[in-house]
Amino acid sequence: MIKLGFKEWFAAGSAIAKGDLLRNSGSHQFCARAEKRLAEMTGAKHVLLINSGTSALTCALAALGVGPGDEVIVPAYTWMASAAAPLHVGAVPVICDIDESLTIDPDDIERKITPNTRAIIPVHMIDRPCDMDRIMEIARKHNLLVVEDACQSIGVTYKGKHLGAIGDAGAFSFNQYKNMTIGEGGAVLLNSDDALARAYNYHDIGTSFRNLDFDTSNDLFVGLNLRANEVQGAMLNAQIDRLPRRIEKLRKRYDVVRDSMDKAGLPIARHNDADNGAGLAVTFATEQEAEQFAQNRIARRLFDNTKHVYTNWTPIMEQRMFHEKMNPWAWANRKIEYSDDMCVRTLDILRRSCGIGLGPQYPVPVVRHFAKKLQAPEISKSEITRGTGKTPIAT
Ligand SMILES: *Cc1c(COP(=O)(O)O)cnc(C)c1O
């Protein structure tokens, strides 16, 4: 978890001192400045600050016109918000397996495509990029939209491109666990003027006339209030200053730990862009080995990460919205069913995998120290045969 410092304190204070915190009142422009800088950094055509990563995903889908009757393919391993966002625009999530890279499996995406599929949400989990070359190829072939969930990988690149700026839209989160934080917040990355107009409208209750230098020829429609305020914008500018160094440190730790793990003969998980790796993981042959390895100070078994595993997305698995008639599953063109065993391959991989914490809270020498202590778990053959199936599917 990232701690904020004097820079953010001072930035927030400056915004408060100006007295006017509404971003679009025009007197000062902390949000606009942060948006411009994020667009320059990522290469996205437009960036819109917003109040959370969940809102960013929802707003991106609304901006691209995804709605009732549409199916959106999401991975079985992600924070529940990625699967909830389609529901907020009336579409339904179709849950797709991950592969050994721990991100969405392009082969399974192809299997899950139906005539109703409208979009794919690849999620770049724990600073690890999805196989975007293949995903974009599949999307182009089937005429699908791609909304990248880059909430967990801000500042990380895939083959030189910033995650979040490769597809039609992308989402960032600035909650306190992400690579940049302002407490709560998010950003939508968009690659067309029309999508920006619609996103702006959606995030400000359908009042996009408020933005003075904005093309309002787009038809207005009802939206929500998902606006970020100027204190958030000011703090975010301070965080943007810090990001390059933070990512550089993340990469450095990645190299240090990967070296140690190589030497210890640990089974490093496949990475879709290993040369620019920032998120490290290991996948063992058995779940017992992963459980044992998770005893290490900087390791965590991915299966134990609660609502990041689809079997724990209770309201989605049980298809429950806030009102029985507000039911995207009833608007779908076919019956959509979920069950705990629909993505057993994902469960199997997550049970055998551990993420390695390369968090900025640890200085590199400390990480080096922990890395040296990482050792392959020693599991006797008898334990392997005895222990299988001990973890229930739903936790
Ligand atoms: C954090 C996160 C979100 C949601 O972000 P919030 O700002 O908490 O709404 C969405 N997707 C993923 C993968 C996340 O990790």
Mutate to test the pocket of ligand 1, among 127, 151, 308 (most ligand atoms within 8 A of CB): 151
Q: Would you state the pLDDT for residue 74?
A: 98
Residues 135, 146: contact at Cβ < 8 Å?
Answer: yes
What would the two tokens of residue 118 be? 């409208």
Interval between CA 55 and ligand 1 midpoint (Å): 9
Q: Of all atoms in ligand 1, which is nearest to the CA of residue 185?
A: 7
Collapsing DSSP to helix, strand or coil, 128 comes out as: coil
Map tokens 């209030």 to a residue. Answer: 225
What would the two tokens of residue 143 be? 């005429």
Rounded to an integer, the average pLDDT of 64-91 is 98
Rounded to an integer, the average pLDDT of 358-363 is 74
Collapsing DSSP to helix, strand or coil, 145 comes out as: strand
Mutate to test the pocket of ligand 1, among 79, 182, 188 (most ligand atoms within 8 A of CB): 79
Interval between CA 282 and ligand 1 midpoint (Å): 23
Q: What per-residue string of b and e applies to 82-115 under the rule 16 or more CB within 10 Å gives b?
A: bbbbbbbbbbbbbbbbbbebbbbbbebbeebbee
How far apart CA 360 and CA 344 sit, in angstroms, is 33
Residues 145, 138: contact at Cβ < 8 Å?
Answer: no
Collapsing DSSP to helix, strand or coil, 50 comes out as: strand
Residues 379, 269: contact at Cβ < 8 Å?
Answer: no
Q: Count CB-CB contacts under 10 A for residue 381.
A: 7
Q: Which residues contact 274 (CB under 8 A, 6 or more apart)?
A: none
Q: Would you state the pLDDT for residue 158?
A: 97
Beta bridge partners of 123: 149
Q: Please report the DSSP string for 310-365 in residue order.
A: GGG-HHHHTT--SSTTS-HHHHSSS-----TTTTHHHHHHHHTEEEE---TTS-HH
Residues 127, 152: contact at Cβ < 8 Å?
Answer: yes
Rounded to an integer, the average pLDDT of 299-324 is 95
Q: Would you state the pLDDT for residue 26?
A: 67
Interval between CA 13 and ligand 1 midpoint (Å): 27
pLDDT grade for 214, boundaries at 50, 70 and 90 = low
Helix, strand, coil shares, percent, the chain, to 5? 45, 15, 45
Q: How many Cα atoms within 13 Å fall on the side-chain side of residue 126?
A: 25
- Phi and psi dihedrals of 126, rounded to 5? 40, 55
Residues 53, 322: contact at Cβ < 8 Å?
Answer: no
Q: Of all atoms in ligand 1, which is nearest to the CA of residue 78?
A: 13
Ligand 1 pocket: which residues have CB below 6 Å?
Answer: 52-54, 78-79, 81-82, 123, 149, 151-152, 173, 175, 186
Instruction: Report the nearest-CA residue for atom 3 of ligand 1.
Output: 53
Instruction: Report the nearest-CA residue for atom 13 of ligand 1.
Output: 79
Q: Of all atoms in ligand 1, which is nearest to the CA of residue 124?
A: 13
How far apart CA 231 and CA 182 sit, in angstroms, is 9
Q: Of all atoms in ligand 1, which is nearest to the CA of residue 52?
A: 7
Mutate to test the pocket of ligand 1, among 149, 178, 309 (most ligand atoms within 8 A of CB): 149
Q: Sheet harboring 280-283: ordered strands across?
A: 280-283, 353-356, 299-301
> 199 or 277: whose pLDDT is higher?
199
Per the prediction, the chain carries an average pLDDT of 91
Mutate to test the pocket of ligand 1, among 50, 152, 163, 236 (most ligand atoms within 8 A of CB): 152
Q: Of all atoms in ligand 1, which is nearest to the CA of residue 125?
A: 13
What would the two tokens of residue 156 be? 């990380």
pLDDT in tens, 22-77: 888 766 689 999 999 999 999 999 999 999 999 999 999 999 999 999 999 999 99
Residue 216: pLDDT over 50: yes
What would the two tokens of residue 219 be? 């038809």
Whole-model pTM?
A: 0.93
- 112's enclosing H/E stretch is helix 106-112
pLDDT in tens, 319-343: 999 999 999 999 999 999 999 999 9
Residues 248, 276: contact at Cβ < 8 Å?
Answer: no
Q: Would you state the pLDDT for residue 369?
A: 84
Q: Of all atoms in ligand 1, which is nearest to the CA of residue 123?
A: 13
Residue 296: pLDDT over 50: yes
Q: Of all atoms in ligand 1, which is nearest to the CA of residue 152?
A: 15
Mutate to test the pocket of ligand 1, among 175, 177, 203, 302 (most ligand atoms within 8 A of CB): 175
Instruction: Report the nearest-CA residue for atom 2 of ligand 1.
Output: 151
